[in-house]
């Protein structure tokens, strides 16, 4: 696999940069981003460079200006450390750099950067280490080691808290107090402009010199900045080492119990004092253990491949998901760029339910539950959007921020290349399949886990409320005696204002049918809960409406050639040669030649649309139907969305096109860590990272949730000799191992029998029991 970052042939947990290049700052800042789900810190280097994006983002701390939408504010920075040595400011664009290496250890989250810098005829050895603790989510720790190699050196350092960070020029933070405690603990207070979230950043330094002498720090206070300055003289071959401890706390944190700013200030200070009582190595040991305990012990996955980078890509995907998933707080969800950059303003999309939720459903169900609870907390905002659009029920926002905010999609976007005018972003108005996606993801959780109590408490209400929306949204076509859904955007966002998008119509019909089934089951089996929901949602009325509508929803059928139309007009549009766009180095190349209005009149698809429908509802479609539609739509798909390749990889695997599936899987892996050195400047692609896992487990591993049945029918690519992974199913843990000739399924720590299906045959396992099936 061709990658844009280095790997270590002996260690699949390592990503590395072996040569410094300031033109590629954004790529490495994002893919080597550190975090713990609460906080994400881009890997900007300690020294400053033009073009850097020095982002520190805390989940859920949304803020906005009048007339704009909420975004995660870029918080004060503690990672920049200015170092001047013998009068030379550290800058790797000057002098000579040798033995350069920057490494992110995905297993522990440790970042290490080391190099020898030669300037003005003197050489110096530097080593920078940084961790964002998984053991204490408020904590960042950096260790700096400086060694002059061929003579004495005078080192001047400025290090502290810089509150002059912005979101592309927008400053979301109000300047607050800056204090020094006990002569060593520096603190800055700030708050967001509109949402009034109070924050405290606190930092200190611990020094280690060759002869044990003390280093005196001098505090410097500027506008939105507070720093320590210190100077030391280091003998040749001697070493100066210091550790910087920093904590971030906000009054939105669910582990903060204080009621006022003073309590928050004390909370941040106490967090820091506790942290700096331990050495860097002790903090590293704690965070390494926490990564193992909370991430790597779940969903273990091992690939034996002729290309070791396949395993690296899987480890990277899982690392990035852990960095960006706020598993600690159900009031928050995963942003399209996670916590790795400012792209999409930290907002949550359908990416969660369709591309990332499956990973957590099958590897850590309690996290999936939290992500669904976020949607439940968003019902008030969904009701508000629905009412604003003169519909009923819950119309979920296309872009979501804080749960109660409702729709958070910007109204205007980039300029049209033809007209020069800003283009309206219609997704927040008419990309309505999100409501079905939310319902679908919630029901997948229930079917996979058997969590009946959570279903009663939250999930069923989400689905029933979504069905109320669709009942009010459907449009009756009297001439055809059917219900249609007009003026929408489907998953293919190159087609705006179209009628009867197949994916939208089918998923709306699924939502109504599921609501009918739930109504009947609750009324019979859970009368108390039914009465509660009936009073709240007027279910008796809607049940009659759903029954009248569900079988008359227009579900687009295959034409004479077996092709399911993507929408009412897609198959009548003109065709062009798309080869140069499908093979382009960068996505979106078609916009160099056409604007969106022109693209809407061409048979070109941005990402899986009809094919996504065939993947999610595979039991509704025969294999021949899938193959016909694959052959039609894949050549017309540019894969300009990062969501596309992994979906196609799973479907190709289902169709036993294993070589093609493997090619698409590797291309999906390359979206963030591949050779395009600008692909991740705004942050990594969360949905694609979830999709990589889906391609392995659902595609090559053949795992599929069909209603309440688990199916396992693997198809290994030629390059793989073995695939082993663990999943949760019905609250039991399974280990699935596949080689070229056998499938082995073992029930681990089972407290009840576990059933699955393979090629139509049912298997049943008890605790620690295995079954071996010849392939």
Q: Which burial class, exposed, middle or buried, applies to 517 when counting CB atoms under 10 A from its CB (0-12, 13-18, 19+)?
A: exposed
pLDDT band at 422; cut points 50, 70, 90: confident
Neighbours of 580 (CB within 10 A): 11
> Residue 723: beta bridge partners?
303, 738
> Which region, left, alpha or beta, applies to residue 707 given φ > 0 means left and ψ of -120 to 50 means alpha?
left
pLDDT band at 420; cut points 50, 70, 90: confident
pLDDT band at 767; cut points 50, 70, 90: confident
Residue 417 has pLDDT above 80, yes or no: no
Could you read off the pLDDT of 19-34 as tens digits, one per residue? 999 999 999 999 999 9
DSSP state of 5: S
606 annotated as ligand-binding? yes
pLDDT at 749: 83
The residue with tokens 């605790």 is 767
Residue 497 has pLDDT above 90, yes or no: yes
Fold (topology level) of 32-296 = Beta-galactosidase; Chain A, domain 5 (2.70.98)
Q: Which residues contact 180 (CB under 8 A, 6 or more apart)?
A: 186, 187, 219
As annotated, the active-site residues are 493
Q: Could you give the dihedral angle defined by the CA atoms of residues 3, 7, 13 and 14, in that order, rounded to the nearest 10 degrees? A: -110
Mean pLDDT of 301-319: 98
350 annotated as ligand-binding? yes
pLDDT at 707: 83
Residue 580 has pLDDT above 90, yes or no: yes
Mean pLDDT of 581-605: 94
The residue with tokens 């004479």 is 560
pLDDT at 389: 97
Query: Residues 162, 80: contact at Cβ < 8 Å?
Result: yes
Residue 67 has pLDDT above 90, yes or no: no
Token reading at 300: 């273990």
Rounded CA-CA distance 699/689 in Å is: 15
Query: Among 67-76, 479-488, 547-556, which stretch is predicted with the lowest mean pLDDT?
Result: 67-76
pLDDT band at 318; cut points 50, 70, 90: very high
Residue 66 has pLDDT above 90, yes or no: no
Neighbours of 677 (CB within 10 A): 16
Query: Residues 101, 113: contact at Cβ < 8 Å?
Result: yes
Query: Among 94-98, 416-420, 475-479, 643-647, which stretch is predicted with the lowest mean pLDDT?
Result: 416-420
Residue 154 has pLDDT above 90, yes or no: yes
Sign, Cα dihedral of 425, 674, 608, 317 = negative
Residue 44 has pLDDT above 90, yes or no: yes
First to last CA, the chain: 28
Q: Which residues contact 159 (CB under 8 A, 6 or more apart)?
A: 80, 81, 82, 203, 205, 227, 228, 244
More confident residue, 489 or 416: 489
Could you read off the pLDDT of 364-397 as tens digits, one per residue? 999 999 999 999 999 999 999 999 999 999 999 9
Could you read off the pLDDT of 200-247 as tens digits, one per residue? 999 999 999 989 999 999 999 999 999 999 999 999 999 999 999 999
Query: Residues 111, 32: contact at Cβ < 8 Å?
Result: yes
For the chain, give every domain's residue range.
Answer: 32-296
| H/E segment holding residue 8 | strand 6-8
Neighbours of 68 (CB within 10 A): 13
Mean pLDDT of 582-592: 92
pLDDT band at 169; cut points 50, 70, 90: confident
pLDDT band at 320; cut points 50, 70, 90: very high
For the residues of 185-202, what is the DSSP string, one character each?
EEEEEEEETTT--EEEEE
Rounded to 10 deg, the angle between the 539-550 and 502-525 helix axes is: 140
pLDDT at 323: 99
pLDDT at 415: 76
Q: Which burial class, exposed, middle or buried, applies to 619 when counting CB atoms under 10 A from its CB (0-12, 13-18, 19+)?
A: exposed
Backbone angles phi, psi at 516, to 5 degrees: -60, -45
Q: Which long-range contacts (CB under 8 A, 24 or more apart) does 766-772 make?
A: 770/744, 770/745, 770/746, 771/744, 771/745, 771/746, 772/742, 772/743, 772/744
Query: Among 409-418, 488-497, 585-594, which stretch is predicted with the lowest mean pLDDT?
Result: 409-418
pLDDT at 739: 98
Answer whether 0.85 is exceeded by the pTM: yes
Could you read off the pLDDT of 276-291 as tens digits, one per residue? 999 999 999 999 999 9
The residue with tokens 């975004």 is 71
Q: Could you give the dihedral angle defined by the CA atoms of residues 65, 68, 70 and 71, in that order, rounded to the nearest 10 degrees? A: -90
Backbone angles phi, psi at 441, to 5 degrees: -60, -40
Mean pLDDT, the chain, as a whole number? Answer: 97
Query: Among 508-517, 522-531, 581-590, 607-616, which stretch is predicted with the lowest mean pLDDT?
Result: 581-590
351 annotated as ligand-binding? yes
Rounded CA-CA distance 247/256 in Å is: 13
Q: Are strands 422-424 and 412-415 parallel, antiparallel or unpaired?
A: antiparallel
Residue 250 has pLDDT above 80, yes or no: yes
| H/E segment holding residue 285 | helix 280-291
Backbone angles phi, psi at 275, to 5 degrees: -65, -45
Q: Could you give the dihedral angle defined by the CA atoms of residues 392, 396, 402 and 406, in that order, rounded to the nearest 10 degrees? A: -40
Backbone angles phi, psi at 229, to 5 degrees: -115, 135
Could you read off the pLDDT of 686-701 as tens digits, one per residue? 999 999 999 999 999 9
Nearest by Cα to 115 from 51, 24, 21: 21
Angle subtended at Cα 413 by Cα 612 and Cα 166, rounded to the nearest 5 degrees: 110
pLDDT at 259: 80
pLDDT at 480: 98
Q: How far is CA 140 from the centre of its chain?
A: 21
pLDDT at 761: 96
Could you read off the pLDDT of 182-193 as tens digits, one per residue? 999 999 999 999
Q: How far is CA 152 from the centre of its chain?
A: 47
The rounded percent of the chain whose pLDDT value lies above 90 is 95
Rounded CA-CA distance 662/619 in Å is: 23
pLDDT at 413: 84
Nearest by Cα to 609 from 624, 629, 593: 629
Query: Among 64-68, 309-313, 473-477, 709-713, which stretch is predicted with the lowest mean pLDDT?
Result: 64-68
pLDDT band at 416; cut points 50, 70, 90: confident
Nearest by Cα to 350 from 412, 407, 435: 435
Rounded CA-CA distance 464/452 in Å is: 16
């Amino acid at each position: 696999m061709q990658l844009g970052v280095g790997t270590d042939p002996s260690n699949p947990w390592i990503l590395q940069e072996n040569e410094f290049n300031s033109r590629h700052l954004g790529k490495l800042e994002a893919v080597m981003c550190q975090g713990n789900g609460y906080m994400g810190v881009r890997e900007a280097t300690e020294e400053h460079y033009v073009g850097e994006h020095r982002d520190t983002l805390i989940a859920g701390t949304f803020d906005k200006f009048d007339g704009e939408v909420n975004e995660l504010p870029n918080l004060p920075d503690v990672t920049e450390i200015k170092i001047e040595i013998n009068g030379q400011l550290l800058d790797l664009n000057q002098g000579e750099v040798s033995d350069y290496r920057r490494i992110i250890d995905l297993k522990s989250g440790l970042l290490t950067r080391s190099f020898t810098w030669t300037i003005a005829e003197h050489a110096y050895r530097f080593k920078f280490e940084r961790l964002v603790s998984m053991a204490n989510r408020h904590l960042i720790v950096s260790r700096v080691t400086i060694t002059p190699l061929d003579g004495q050196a005078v080192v001047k350092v400025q290090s502290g808290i810089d509150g002059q960070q912005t979101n592309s020029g927008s400053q979301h933070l109000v300047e607050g107090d800056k204090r020094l405690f006990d002569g060593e603990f520096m603190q800055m207070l700030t708050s967001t402009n509109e949402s009034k979230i109070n924050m405290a950043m606190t930092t200190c330094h611990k020094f280690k010199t060759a002869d044990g002498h003390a280093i005196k720090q001098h505090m410097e206070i500027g506008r939105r900045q507070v720093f320590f300055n210190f100077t030391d003289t280091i003998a040749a071959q001697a070493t100066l080492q210091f550790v910087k401890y920093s904590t971030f706390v906000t009054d939105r944190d669910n582990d903060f119990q204080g009621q006022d700013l003073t309590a928050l200030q004390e909370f941040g200070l106490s967090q820091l004092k506790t942290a700096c009582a331990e050495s860097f190595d002790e903090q590293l040991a704690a965070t390494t253990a926490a990564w193992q305990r909370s991430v790597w012990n779940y969903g273990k996955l091992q690939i034996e491949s002729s290309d070791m980078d396949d395993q690296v890509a899987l480890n990277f995907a899982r690392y990035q998901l852990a960095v960006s998933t706020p598993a600690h707080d159900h009031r928050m969800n995963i942003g399209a760029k996670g916590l790795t950059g400012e792209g999409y303003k930290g907002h949550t999309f359908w990416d969660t339910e369709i591309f990332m939720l499956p990973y957590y459903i099958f590897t850590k169900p309690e996290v999936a539950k939290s992500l669904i609870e976020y949607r439940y907390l968003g019902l008030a905002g969904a009701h508000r959007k629905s009412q604003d659009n003169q519909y009923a029920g819950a119309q979920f926002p296309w872009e979501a921020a804080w749960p109660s905010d409702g729709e958070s999609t910007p109204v205007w976007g980039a300029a049209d290349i033809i007209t020069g005018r800003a283009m309206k972003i219609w997704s927040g108005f008419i990309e309505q399949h999100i409501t079905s996606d939310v319902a679908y993801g919630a029901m997948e959780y229930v079917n996979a886990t058997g969590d009946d109590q959570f279903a009663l408490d939250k999930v069923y209400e989400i689905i029933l409320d979504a069905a109320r929306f669709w009942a009010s949204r459907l449009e009756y076509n009297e001439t055809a005696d059917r219900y249609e859904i007009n003026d929408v955007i489907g998953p293919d966002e190159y087609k705006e204002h179209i009628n009867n998008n197949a994916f939208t119509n089918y998923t709306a019909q699924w939502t109504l049918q599921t609501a009918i089934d739930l109504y009947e089951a609750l009324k019979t089996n859970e009368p108390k809960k039914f009465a509660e929901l009936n009073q709240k949602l007027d279910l008796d009325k809607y049940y009659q409406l759903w029954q009248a509508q569900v079988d008359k929803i227009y579900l687009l059928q295959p034409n004479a050639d077996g092709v399911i139309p993507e929408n009412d007009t897609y198959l009548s549009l003109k065709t062009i040669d798309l080869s140069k766009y499908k093979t382009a180095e960068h996505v979106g190349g078609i916009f160099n030649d056409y604007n969106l209005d022109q693209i809407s009149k061409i048979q070109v698809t941005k990402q899986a649309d009809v094919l996504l429908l065939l993947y999610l509802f595979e039991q509704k479609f025969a294999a021949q139907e899938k193959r016909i539609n694959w052959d039609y739509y894949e050549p017309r798909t540019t894969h300009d969305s990062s969501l596309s390749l992994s979906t196609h990889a799973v479907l190709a695997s289902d169709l036993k096109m294993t070589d093609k599936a493997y090619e698409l899987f590797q291309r999906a892996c390359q979206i963030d860590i591949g050779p395009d050195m600008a692909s991740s400047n705004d942050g990594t692609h969360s949905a694609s990272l979830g999709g990589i896992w889906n391609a392995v487990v659902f595609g090559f591993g053949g795992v599929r949730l069909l209603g309440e049945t688990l199916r396992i029918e693997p198809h290994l690519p030629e390059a793989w000799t073995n695939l082993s992974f663990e999943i949760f199913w019905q609250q039991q843990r399974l280990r699935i191992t596949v080689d070229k000739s056998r499938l082995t399924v073992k029930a681990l720590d089972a407290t009840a029998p576990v059933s699955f299906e393979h090629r139509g045959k049912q298997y049943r396992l008890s605790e620690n029991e295995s079954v071996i099936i010849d392939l």
